[in-house]
Amino acid sequence: MHYNGAKASIVEVAVSDLDGIYRNHTMAAYDLPRPKPEVIAIVRDSLVERLGPRISTAQAIREQHSHGEGLPAVGMPDLVAFPENNDEVAFILALCNAHRVPIVPFGAGSSLEGQVAALAGGISLDMNRFDKVLQISPEALDCRVQAGVTREVLNAHIRDIGLFFPVDPGANASIGGMASTRASGTNAVRYGTMRENVLGLTVITPDGRIVRTGSRARKSSAGLDLTHVYIGSEGTLGVITEIQLKLSGVPESIMAAVCQFPSLEGAIGAVVTALQTNLKLARVELLDEVQMHAAIRYSGLDYFEVPTLFLEFHGTPSSTREEVELMQTIASDHGGGGFLFAQRPEDRNRLWKARHNSYQAVMALAPGKANMGTDACVPISALPACLLETKADILASGLMAPIVGHVGDGNFHLGILFDPNDAEETARAEALAFRTARRAIGFGGTCSGEHGVGLHKIVHMETEHGEGIALMKSLKSALDPNGIMNPGKIYP
Ligand SMILES: Cc1cc2nc3c(=O)[nH]c(=O)nc-3n(C[C@H](O)[C@H](O)[C@H](O)COP(=O)(O)OP(=O)(O)OC[C@H]3O[C@@H](n4cnc5c(N)ncnc54)[C@H](O)[C@@H]3O)c2cc1C
């Protein structure tokens, strides 16, 4: 079934109907065969000979690499490798490919959809020692980094030369992990996602070839775009070891603003009008009244508990002033008001505090509950209808699920709170997450704007991509014929 473009009747799915769907997809991934202990022993001995103490079988290290963040999806690797250069990665992959031993690349482990769980055992390939910024070119506004460099380290490195790397998932993720999940964040409405900010890669294939994709040119029509085959592939096609990135200049003037609205319709309507007016928003984040309640309670802030937009404008002093004035008019046409502004970095940080601490604030709202964070994205024109239907669905579900959104991209998250020890409540939370994803697909959108598929979103892949899944599987088997790369993820 393929709902793209059509209104999805599947959103009426009952809680009980989902049990089979989730079990079939999720348990199938957990049922993958693991390599035999004697095969692991052969591979371990060869790896220890080459990498010495940078191969670990310690229980604590394996456990640390058995899961990411978010809902539990655990798969213990048999061992963890800490390679330091391309040749070592190529050696590990070729060895594992010859012995059919799974490999799960591991960046910062901050992914939310079960991506790093070693469902079939094998090797967790920790990329943290790939921590060098290899080259920076302020003239070309680009740089080349190793995959384990985190976005905060990169930004600290280039701050003094007036540059920044704009893609900002909330966590301090690795650039390799971000490329592999096609990550984005609050700045994407102005600066794009990893898709737009990566120019090229160095990739190690499962048979141990070291391949450079793309170039430093801003565009190219020379052949298939291999770079973007790997971006978003979640470690299922090969290992990324180096990334060529675009950089941006730190704007001369940055103005942050907060604006509150009496209704969700008003807040979303203002964003849609602003985008249709071609207003150059650098950030626009929506927090609904439940999320604002959590934020105010958690950080002791002086806001009203109503839907709120957090905005940022980048440019020259005169352009930001003009954009702010236009946004004020648009907001007021949609019932918004009470604008607060901040320009100095410390004031901007204070203003954005409610947004930055949103995850911790939600967790503090209901101690003991788990947070099923889910992410969906729709065309901006469909955002009002999709968000309002989702809000009604949350109320009908009887669950607490604050909404936070990078709404300038049509992207929003629910933090569905539920008691993991209560099977009925867990099923209701799963059903709400399921309907949210299917509703987004029905509106011509996607089940994930930025968190990726991992294990938890496999159930939506055929619905979203239809025949496209067969092509994805063909690519997977062409590039990883023995299926050693991150088995059990993405492909149904
Ligand atoms: C509080 C919080 C907020 C978040 N907010 C956002 C957000 O706003 N936007 C967003 O996009 N994400 C968000 N995330 C999710 C997460 O930060 C991103 O998915 C991030 O891109 C993961 O990077 P990582 O280095 O942690 O990768 P990991 O979790 O280590 O790995 C992610 C996937 O990439 C693969 N991988 C990692 N490194 C490599 C490599 N070198 N080569 C090949 N494959 C590799 C792994 O096998 C895995 O499949 C958030 C997470 C948290 C905890």
Cα separation, 304 vs 92, in Å, equals 55
Closest to 389 (Cα-Cα) out of 349, 442, 343? 442
Closest protein CA for atom 52 of ligand 1: 171
pLDDT at residue 26 in the model:
67
The pLDDT of residue 125 is above 60: yes
Cβ atoms within 10 Å of 208's Cβ, excluding its own: 17
| Least confident among 11-20, 114-123, 171-180 | 11-20
The pLDDT of residue 18 is above 70: no
pLDDT at residue 352 in the model:
84
Cα separation, 119 vs 77, in Å, equals 8
Q: How confident is the model at residue 65 (pLDDT cuts 50, 70, 90)?
A: very high
Cα separation, 133 vs 146, in Å, equals 6
Q: DSSP per residue over 151-199, as a string?
A: HHHHHHHHGGGTEE-----SS--BHHHHHHHT---TTHHHH--HHHHEE
Q: How confident is the model at residue 72 (pLDDT cuts 50, 70, 90)?
A: confident
Question: Which of 84, 88, 180 has the most ligand 1 atoms within 8 A of CB, as the residue to mutate?
Answer: 180
Give strand pairing partners of 142.
137, 246
Closest protein CA for atom 37 of ligand 1: 177
CA dist 21 → 81, 114, 326, 464, 484 (Å)? 35, 17, 48, 15, 26
pLDDT at residue 42 in the model:
98
The pLDDT of residue 94 is above 70: yes
pLDDT in tens, 413-444: 999 999 999 999 999 999 999 999 999 999 99
User: Which residues' Cβ are closer than 6 Å to ligand 1?
Assistant: 68-69, 104-112, 115-116, 127, 147, 169-171, 173-174, 176-178, 180-181, 183-185, 234-235, 239-240, 359, 450-451, 486
Closest protein CA for atom 14 of ligand 1: 169
pLDDT in tens, 436-470: 999 999 999 999 999 999 999 999 999 999 999 99
Residue carrying structure tokens 């203003």: 351
Which ligand 1 atom minimizes the distance to the CA of 180? 34
The one-letter code for the residue type at 139 is E
Q: Dihedral through CA 5, CA 9, CA 14, CA 16, nearest 10?
A: -70
Q: How confident is the model at residue 134 (pLDDT cuts 50, 70, 90)?
A: very high
Q: What is the mean pLDDT of residues 116-127?
A: 97
- Check: CB of residue 201 under 8 Å from CB of residue 227: yes
pLDDT at residue 354 in the model:
77
Q: How confident is the model at residue 23 (pLDDT cuts 50, 70, 90)?
A: low
The pLDDT of residue 387 is above 90: yes
Instruction: Tell me the three-class secondary structure of 6-31, residue by residue.
Output: CCCHHHHCCHHHHHHHHHHHHHHHHC
Cα separation, 73 vs 180, in Å, equals 18
Exposure of 286 in the CB half-sphere (CA atoms within 13 A): 30
Closest protein CA for atom 49 of ligand 1: 234
The pLDDT of residue 25 is above 90: no
| Least confident among 25-29, 42-46, 468-472 | 25-29
pLDDT in tens, 178-204: 999 999 999 999 999 999 999 999 999
pLDDT at residue 24 in the model:
61
- At residue 291, φ and ψ (nearest 5 deg) are -65, -35
Q: DSSP per residue over 237-255, as a string?
A: S-EEEEEEEE-EEPPSEEE
Which ligand 1 atom minimizes the distance to the CA of 148? 41
- Residue 42 Cα to ligand 1 midpoint, Å, equals 31
Helix/strand/coil for 35: coil
Which ligand 1 atom minimizes the distance to the CA of 110? 26
| Least confident among 148-152, 300-304, 408-412, 439-443 | 300-304
Give the sheet arrangement for strand 281-287, strand by strand. 337-342, 253-260, 308-315, 281-287, 403-406, 411-418, 370-377
